[in-house]
Structure 1
Amino acid sequence: MKQKRAFPADPIGRYRELLSEKEAALLESSLINPAPTAIRVNPLKAEPRQLSEEMSHKYQWDLQPVPHCRDGFTMTSSLIPPGHTLEGRLGYFYIQDAASMLPVELFEPVETTEPLILDLTASPGGKTAHLASRFHDRGLILANDGTSSRIPALTSTLKNWGAACSAVTNFPGERFGQWFPETFDLVLLDAPCSMENLHPGEKNKRDIKPPERSRLAQRQVQLLMSALQACKVGGQVVYSTCTLAPEEDEGVVDTILRLTGHAVTITPAAQRLGVQAPGLESAFGQTFSPETVKSLRLWPHRLRTSGFFSAHFRKNSSLPGQSRESPTRPYLPSHIIPLGRKDQEFLISHFAANYGVDLTNLLEGQALTLGLFKQSVYLLPHILENSFAGLPVNSSGLRLGDYAESGFEPSLEWTTRYGKLITGNRYNLSPDNFLRWSRGEDVPYENAVEPARGTILVMISPEGYVAGTGRMSSRGIKNLLPRHLALKS
């Protein structure tokens, strides 16, 4: 017999005194059922409304738009979980709590077509991917995380999302303000926190003691100061946490406003998004700046999300601070090198002839260059070399494909990212063959004119989306999907 979820005697705990009796009752009631699953569609790969409708029909999902994110949808019911679909595994959408979609949406449009963006504590990369799609994968996103063990998850997310104009670094976020003062148009700090979001579905939560909470708040202030120093005058910084602890939320904002004076202002971004979730003016005996009410505090019962906090800052003038030289590394043969002219000409001809893609147009449109690493060719953001030459990066750009015995083979991440441009060597999968393909199985070739053996085909789902690549063989089409992406039978 299935046991009911066990709740603590008072699931709200110390937060009860921050709410009216009515709101506390609403909050307690909302914790009985966790916030619904939500997805954010990747507009770099698909039109969000269209894909949401197609997936709703295909997988029997009941999707409702997220009010503060045009690409987001909450899932009130589903026959098949979103993580058990090939579209999800190929980066057509990202599973993310609706509250976590808020920070990137707080940024206002920028005037430049090639913004410099810093994500200071980026892993696992959901918000970084959101930045890439929100700003059309142009310019450069420097996605940093200070913990080396978290870098693989970040790199994987950006690869799966198709973020070509990005680079991943592994440095303490506190140093960027000194290394790159007044450099970035936009800076996102989704800060490490106590994670007190009152989400009933999360296991292994532990009590946070006051000394630890104090240390967290001190580090958050240091990171936010670094973010503000790295931001250009006139630029924007968004601060967010997945905790409702005032010490880490309004308390940090209050400290920053006192330290920076008129150099930094907090903006009433909630009005622009139509979200009613004002920050606190006081908590647990501490009174905050009146400006903190302009921040956003998402109690779980307000928008049926996990608990969350965010604030949008505008930098008005320079901040004092000592600049230091950023780290560099010497050239090594193992690094990516510029692709030679003849190789570039070959690839331009190859992609035009085989896939109908004007590679020159693509490169110029996103200010990308081509680089070679071993047998792989990468699309690289030109601005990375111009503005951050020599900066040690863990990864950068998007893999275009690989030189193989049979010729040049386009990568899975390139074909899914730029599938809308591909007109040649496409193969349409029937619904039955799509199911087989999703499980990693080979499928028969059923068209009248058979291409040459070894030809790399771009496989198209019944809805018209790239579902991977396959190699033509004497037995049909060999499935080239990586095993970890294939669905279990």
Structure 2
Amino acid sequence: MLGEEYEAFQKSYEEERQYGLRVNTRKISCEEFESICPFPIKKIPWVPNGYFYPSEVRPSLHPYYRAGLYYLQEPSAMTPAACLPVTPGEAVLDLCAAPGGKATELATKLAGQGILVANDISASRARALLRNLELFGASNIFVTNEIPEKMTRYFPEFFHKILLDAPCSGEGMFRKDDSLAADWSVEKSENLSKLQKELILTASKMLMPGGLLLYSTCTFAPAEDEEIISFLLNQRNDMHLVSLPDYPGFSSGVPEWADQNPELAKCVRIWPHKMNGEGHFLALLKKEGEPNSLVPIKKKPQIDKGSRKLLETFFQDLGLSWDFQRVEVRNDKVYLLPPVEQANLRGIHFLRNGLYLGDLKKNRFEPSQPLALALKGKSIPSLRLSPEDDRLHKYLRGETLIVAPGETQKSKGWQLVCADEYPLGWGKLVGQTLKNKYPAGWRL
């Protein structure tokens, strides 16, 4: 495949892998992040909100990570979500979404409008996916744990944009993870190729006319890359390839590695000896036709007057208001549904539909952790602590805090605890004591 370049490719595996993070631009701009970032970073040229950081740094230990200001992701792996042009208000599907690196960026691009359906066939991986979306403050989400083919019954030609980061043999990640190399075999790659063909055909059935489908893998194998795109083009004459952005180091797809279709040159392969990242493959496809508009939600409120009063009182106390047409109560748990109409979802396995707001208990409402992370600390009564304040780390460990008079805008009750102005979770102030409400499963 590489010919004279193979020696340079092989030599790249002697170099240290690259480390990257992607800024959550729904919570903070890149410029603001650069001004407050407590460790060295350097821009990733081909990802607008991506940064390299040194291997000795541990960004996951900083409170800003717990506030959802960034996601840790290998630089090349940021490329698919960066290259899929998502517009706020669209319906977007991430079909194989766990652990959430690409889904969190798609949610960021939607800016709380439209809907993101994020699916993973594994229940445990889907839970990790949901956790990361909640950490990023995503509200317009529908997180499913379903067989992809079954999803076509619920979402026929529903999505404006689909990302299919397909399960693959992982050749592009051998430098990052030795176990992938140990597990590799020709037979595994051939079997995955069959699965990928099923997945891309399934995804195409859920793509709206005029919609875009981005297919990606982290492998070099033509059987999992060009051959998959060739297969789809031969199966569906209403799909065609679209050129991807051209960045220095991106390599074109090779028609000779499939069926000689010259259109395959519009695919992109990332090689580790040409760019500061691991291996990846991308292809962007468009379905012929004109896209449809989503229907705004028409659901009638499913909440009794007493519960609504509790919710209104809580949110008014924070200076907030909610669209109660989108609020739904199920088993005393309160959710804010995505702002668009969905099909009849009876029978589909899902973990979350919308934003989990909290729980109704006897004569009170207790807010949730996902709600805290979806809020903007600037405009809400809160306890704002510097990342250097030892109390912030105590809070993340689940400990009770002592608050000095005047440190909070409210003298009692629920407080949003923030790292600077970025929400981390809830506490409840009684006198000068802040009772810690940071969930046990989230603690350091």
Q: TM-score, normalised by structure 1?
A: 0.80
Cα separation, 2, equivalents of 1:449 and 1:237: 50
How many correspondences in the alignment? 430
Cα separation, 1, equivalents of 2:205 and 2:265: 23
Which of 379, 390, 399 does residue 346 from structure 2 map onto?
Answer: 390
Change (3 A) 1:142 1:435: closer
Name the Cα RMSD after superposition: 2.6
Is the Cα contact below 8 Å between 1:144 and 1:168 reproduced in 2? yes
Matches of residues 468-479 of structure 1 in structure 2 within 5 Å?
Answer: 468-474=425-431, 476-479=433-436
One-letter identity of the residue aligned with 1:47: S
Who is 2:63 aligned against? Answer: 86
The CA deviation at 1:63 is: 0.9
Cα separation, 1, equivalents of 2:403 and 2:204: 56
Is the Cα contact below 8 Å between 1:406 and 1:454 reproduced in 2? no
Is the Cα contact below 8 Å between 1:453 and 1:471 reproduced in 2? no
The CA deviation at 1:223 is: 0.8
- The farther-off stretch of 397-406 and 24-33 is 397-406
Who is 1:442 aligned against? Answer: 400
Who is 2:293 aligned against? Answer: none
The CA deviation at 1:296 is: 1.1
SS of aligned partner of 2:211: strand
Matches of residues 202-351 of structure 1 in structure 2 within 5 Å?
Answer: 202-205=177-180, 206-261=182-237, 263-271=238-246, 276-283=250-257, 287-316=259-288, 338-351=302-315
Cα separation, 2, equivalents of 1:39 and 1:83: 10
Cα separation, 2, equivalents of 1:349 and 1:178: 41
Which of 43, 68, 80 does residue 103 from structure 1 map onto?
Answer: 80
Change (3 A) 1:288 1:345: farther
Is the Cα contact below 8 Å between 1:31 and 1:198 reproduced in 2? no
One-letter identity of the residue aligned with 2:379: I
Cα separation, 2, equivalents of 1:149 and 1:415: 24
Who is 1:168 aligned against? Answer: 143
Cα separation, 2, equivalents of 1:448 and 1:82: 31
The CA deviation at 1:305 is: 0.9
Is the Cα contact below 8 Å between 1:254 and 1:289 reproduced in 2? yes
Change (3 A) 1:375 1:452: farther
Same amino acid, percent of matched pairs: 27
Cα separation, 1, equivalents of 2:115 and 2:376: 22
Is the Cα contact below 8 Å between 1:64 and 1:73 reproduced in 2? yes
One-letter identity of the residue aligned with 1:355: L
One-letter identity of the residue aligned with 2:333: S
One-letter identity of the residue aligned with 1:62: P
One-letter identity of the residue aligned with 1:142: V
| CA offset digits 1:123-146 (Å, max 9, x no partner) | 222211111001212111121222
Cα separation, 2, equivalents of 1:74 and 1:449: 36
The CA deviation at 1:435 is: 3.7
- The farther-off stretch of 433-442 and 158-167 is 433-442
The CA deviation at 1:416 is: 2.1
The CA deviation at 1:166 is: 1.0
Is the Cα contact below 8 Å between 1:264 and 1:317 reproduced in 2? no
Who is 1:27 aligned against? Answer: 9
Q: TM-score, normalised by structure 2?
A: 0.88
Which of 71, 74, 80 does residue 49 from structure 2 map onto?
Answer: 71
Who is 2:294 aligned against? Answer: none
The CA deviation at 1:345 is: 4.5
| CA offset digits 1:92-121 (Å, max 9, x no partner) | 2111111111112222354xx521112211
Cα separation, 1, equivalents of 2:224 and 2:260: 12
Cα separation, 1, equivalents of 2:212 and 2:255: 23
Change (3 A) 1:468 1:94: same
The CA deviation at 1:170 is: 2.3
Which of 415, 424, 427 does residue 467 from structure 1 map onto?
Answer: 424
- The farther-off stretch of 83-92 and 131-140 is 83-92
Question: Given the alignment of the two structures, is residue 37 of structure 1 paired with residue 14 of structure 2, yes or no?
Answer: no
Is the Cα contact below 8 Å between 1:270 and 1:276 reproduced in 2? no
The CA deviation at 1:194 is: 0.9
Change (3 A) 1:478 1:214: same
SS of aligned partner of 2:79: helix
Cα separation, 2, equivalents of 1:209 and 1:77: 30
| CA offset digits 1:396-438 (Å, max 9, x no partner) | 11121223468323222212221246332x1222532334334
Question: Given the alignment of the two structures, is residue 400 of structure 1 paired with residue 360 of structure 2, yes or no?
Answer: no
Change (3 A) 1:53 1:275: farther
Cα separation, 2, equivalents of 1:449 and 1:195: 50
Cα separation, 1, equivalents of 2:256 and 2:47: 29
One-letter identity of the residue aligned with 1:390: R
Who is 1:49 aligned against? Answer: 31
Cα separation, 2, equivalents of 1:404 and 1:345: 13
Change (3 A) 1:232 1:54: same
Is the Cα contact below 8 Å between 1:178 and 1:229 reproduced in 2? no
Cα separation, 2, equivalents of 1:66 and 1:388: 42
The CA deviation at 1:342 is: 4.7
Is the Cα contact below 8 Å between 1:357 and 1:421 reproduced in 2? no
Change (3 A) 1:355 1:229: same
Who is 2:319 aligned against? Answer: 356
Cα separation, 1, equivalents of 2:410 and 2:236: 66
Is the Cα contact below 8 Å between 2:47 and 2:78 reproduced in 1? yes
What 5-or-longer segments of structure 2 have no aligned partner?
A: 291-300
The CA deviation at 1:250 is: 1.0
Is the Cα contact below 8 Å between 2:21 and 2:73 reproduced in 1? yes
Cα separation, 2, equivalents of 1:449 and 1:187: 46
Who is 1:153 aligned against? Answer: 128
Change (3 A) 1:448 1:406: farther
Which of 101, 106, 110 does residue 126 from structure 1 map onto?
Answer: 101
Cα separation, 2, equivalents of 1:340 and 1:99: 49
| CA offset digits 1:363-419 (Å, max 9, x no partner) | 7xxxx71111333211111425x4344352332111212234683232222122212
Is the Cα contact below 8 Å between 2:270 and 2:280 reproduced in 1? yes
